Amino acid sequence: MKTSICMLSLTLMLMLLVLSHNILCTVAVAGEREQQMKKTYIIQMDKSKMPASFADDHFQWYGFSLKSVSDSADMLYTYKNVIHGFSTRLTAEEAELLEKQSGILSVMPELRYELHTTRTPQFLGMLGGINEAVFPASEKLSKVIIGVVDTGVWPEIKSYDDKGLGPVPRSWRGQCEEGKNFNSSSCNRKLIGARFFPKGFEASILGPIDEKVESRSPRDVDGHGTHASTIAAGSAVPGASLFGYASGTARGIATQARVATYKACWSGWCLSSDILAAMDKAVEDGVHILSVSIGRSQYEDLYTDFIAIGAFSAMAKGVFVSCSAGSRGPESDSTSNNAPWITTVGAGTLDRDFPAYVSLGNGKKYRGASIYSGTPLSSGLHPLVYARNASNSTSDQCAPDSLIPEKVVEKIVVCDQGGTNRLDKSMVVKKAGGMGMILADTEGYDEEQLVVDSYVLPVVVVGQKAGDAIKRYITSHDNPKATFSTGKTELGVEPSPVVAAFSSRGPNPICVELLKPDLLAPGVNILAGWTGAAGPSGLAEDTRRVSFNILSGTSMSCPHVSGLAAVLKAAHPEWSLAGIKSALMTTSYATYKNGKPIEDGATGKPATP
């Protein structure tokens, strides 16, 4: 009898354990489903409608409002400088209920933004001659702080050397936040602040950042943020170059200004909740200039564009905001960051080029561009093939896994621009066994304006006319062959500047009466500081490490104007933000020295507003 009772008790205990496990699993699954149903929302509050009972702590009002619609939701960030409000995760129903409450100005879903990817001070006429008078005394410029919202910073490079700089400005209220592989000692009198904002990104991926591929700290593993901040205010570094190209003294536009970085972009994702948090903290910390090389791939109106919303309050608090126009040219109506209170910057070329040549088996030779520095092609001519004739599809753009190895092994492959990233195309060719690549511009690109990259195999970029001629040669010959020859850095290239074909352009999609971009600045083949966590190509397979890299984009032109604004801020501290913007725009030029209008790189014709 006792044995039967024991067996019965044991059976009941096992049944209870199984039942408890099933209940826990059901609860866990339900919780996971609920999280998957939720989205991040940014809630903007109207403080004038805050109940008097919360007068001592308006954050309690935020929390009370949130808990009234969701017991499980927590605030990701609270904002108090560029907006009043918070961000959180809600279901659509919860968001709708919250929006109906008194004191709620708006409940808007998270938006994803994107990054807009030695010689520029001379080119802008800022070194030598009468224009040296533009520069304020170094002690004045050293009081100006440029905040950069981007992918972070690689503090070890020489561009952040603080030699010759005095104490950190007393107006500075920020800090150097610590994280994995980033200590407070990483900051100095040049890089005076560094913060990171991962909560929106982590909420979107429903988990913590994978520190095997990203650093949960201000450290830049992408390179974009380091490049941008050193353009704006990098210290002078003699002997800078990328594998000998663009050699000289690399310096930021505002060399003596201080830098504070705000990491809001993670693994290529820049989410509005993180961007707003970065802008909010930058204003609180006391930056004078905000440089934001980030934008939407599609335009938003001024009431839903979070960069525009944040920039408005920053401007109202005396912070100059410079943003990139976008790199979606030559399409019209393609600009981002179109708010009138933002200084929106397009991209143009420098008077510098990196010539390279493609020689064909028929004796014809075509000029292109290259900064390849690895093992060159062996002497003599090599088999040449057009990607369309060596693809498992009709693709001529060297898309991933599109090339048939037997048709490209030990051959130079001609790939057309578009479809996929230029650097990814080179890796596709290399993995398929190709020995080199000719990257041909297609319709909409003028052959005088060639963007170079640090490829992992020999590559020459050619314009549309040259590319078409090379493809005609391949079609008309049974055994087409080619070889490459590279040159050195060439200065004094004319005409310059030319509006970059990729630079986004107007008309302003929000307000056609307001011309955008406001300004053009150097944004093609720009040398600046680089991360030690990635090779110059940015490809995972690239094991090379450099201190400087050459990139193109309005992401590069924006910090040029940020640096110029810092110079004017220091020289004329009494000027308003509108006065600084006006000075930048009214002292720019729309013609060359010979009186002819600046050219559009997409058409070869005069650029228009």
Cα separation values, 216 from 6, 196, 281, 283, Å: 54, 8, 18, 22
What is the pLDDT, as a whole number, of residue 27? 43
Say if residue 206's pLDDT is above 60.
Answer: yes
Q: How confident is the model at residue 300 (pLDDT cuts 50, 70, 90)?
A: confident
Report the distance separating Cα 415 and Cα 434, nearest Å.
Answer: 12
Is the Cβ–Cβ distance between 566 and 287 less than 8 Å? Answer: no
State both tokens at 309: 């919303």
d(CA 51, CA 434): 69
Provide the pLDDT for residue 362: 97
> In 3D, which of 110, 448, 388, 453 has the Cα closest to residue 275?
110
pLDDT exceeds cutoff 80 at 412: yes
Task: With a cut of 60, say whether residue 127 has pLDDT above it.
Answer: no
Q: Residue 592 pLDDT > 70, yes or no? A: yes
d(CA 87, CA 114): 20
Kindly name the residue from 116, 150, 291, 370 that is annotated as catalytic. Answer: 150
Give residue 295's region: left, alpha or beta (phi > 0; psi -120 to 50).
beta
pLDDT tens-digit profile of 354-363?
A: 999 999 999 9
Q: What is the mean pLDDT of residues 498-510?
A: 91
pLDDT digits (tens, 9 = 90+) for 254-263: 999 999 999 9
pLDDT value of residue 34: 55
Instruction: Please say whether the beta carbons of 412 and 384 come within 8 A.
Output: yes
Q: What is the pLDDT of residue 124?
A: 54
**Given the residues 116, 224, 288, 382, the one annotated as active site:** 224
Average pLDDT over residues 9-20: 54
Domain annotation for the chain: domains and CATH numbers: 37-109 (3.30.70.80), 114-350+495-600 (3.40.50.200), 355-487 (3.50.30.30)
Asked if residue 417 lies in contact with residue 449, where contact means CB atoms within 8 angstroms, the answer is no
Query: For residues 444 and 330, is the Cβ–Cβ distance under 8 A?
Result: yes
pLDDT-based confidence at residue 25 (cuts at 50, 70, 90): very low
pLDDT per residue as tens digits for the range 541-580:
999 999 999 999 999 999 999 999 999 999 999 999 999 9
Residue 121: is its pLDDT beyond 80?
no
Active-site option among 215, 552, 555, 557: 555
Q: Which of 285, 286, 279 is nearest to 321 (CA)?
A: 279
Rounded to an integer, the average pLDDT of 486-496 is 90
Least confident segment among 128-132, 192-196, 393-397: 128-132
What confidence tens digit (pLDDT) does each residue in 157-183 have?
999 999 999 999 999 999 999 998 999
Between CA 235 and CA 551 the distance in angstroms is 19
Please say whether the beta carbons of 224 and 151 come within 8 A.
yes
Which pLDDT score is estimated for 8?
A: 53
CA 530 to chain centre: 13
**In angstroms, rounded to a whole number, what is the distance separating the alpha carbons of residues 371 and 353?**
10
User: Which segment of 52-61, 88-97, 158-167 scores lowest on mean pLDDT?
Assistant: 52-61
pLDDT digit string, tens, across residues 432-443: 999 999 999 887
| DSSP code per residue over 168-222 | PPTT----B--BTTB-GGG--SSEEEEEE--HHHHHHTTS---TTTS-SSSB-SS
pLDDT-derived band at 31 (thresholds 50, 70, 90) equals: very low
CA gap 2, 32 in Å, rounded: 45
Instruction: Say how many CA atoms lie within 13 Å of 132 toward its Cβ.
Output: 5
pLDDT band at 280 (very low <50, low <70, confident <90, very high): very high
Residue with tokens 């075509």: 366
CB 532 within 8 A of CB 156: yes
Q: Can 224 be counted among the known catalytic residues? A: yes
- Which pLDDT band, with edges at 50, 70 and 90, does 4 fall under? low
pTM (two decimals) = 0.90
Distance CA 542, CA 373 (A): 13
Pairwise CA distance, residues 251 & 567, whole Å:
14
Residue 133 above 90 pLDDT? no
d(CA 90, CA 95): 6
Contact criterion met (CB below 8 Å) for 190 and 235: yes
Rounded CA Rg of the chain: 27
Higher-confidence residue: 589 or 28? 589
Q: What is the mean pLDDT of the chain?
A: 90
The answer to whether 117 touches 73, Cβ cutoff 8 Å, is no
Gap between the Cα atoms of 564 and 231, Å rounded: 11
Beta strands in 20-162 (DSSP E): 39-45, 75-79, 85-90, 104-109, 112-115, 145-150
pLDDT of residue 483: 98
For residue 141, is pLDDT > 60? yes
The alpha carbon of residue 73 and the mean position of all alpha carbons in its chain are separated, in whole angstroms, by 31
Segment 321-340 shows an average pLDDT of 93
Helix intervals (H) in 208-329: 224-233, 272-285, 306-316
At CA 347, angle to CA 343 and CA 353, rounded to 5?
A: 150
Percent of the chain's residues with pLDDT above 90: 77
CA distance 292 to 321: 8
Report whether pLDDT(411) > 80: yes
CA distance 513 to 509: 10
Q: Give the 3-state secondary structure of 24-41.
A: HHHHHHHHHHHHHHCEEE
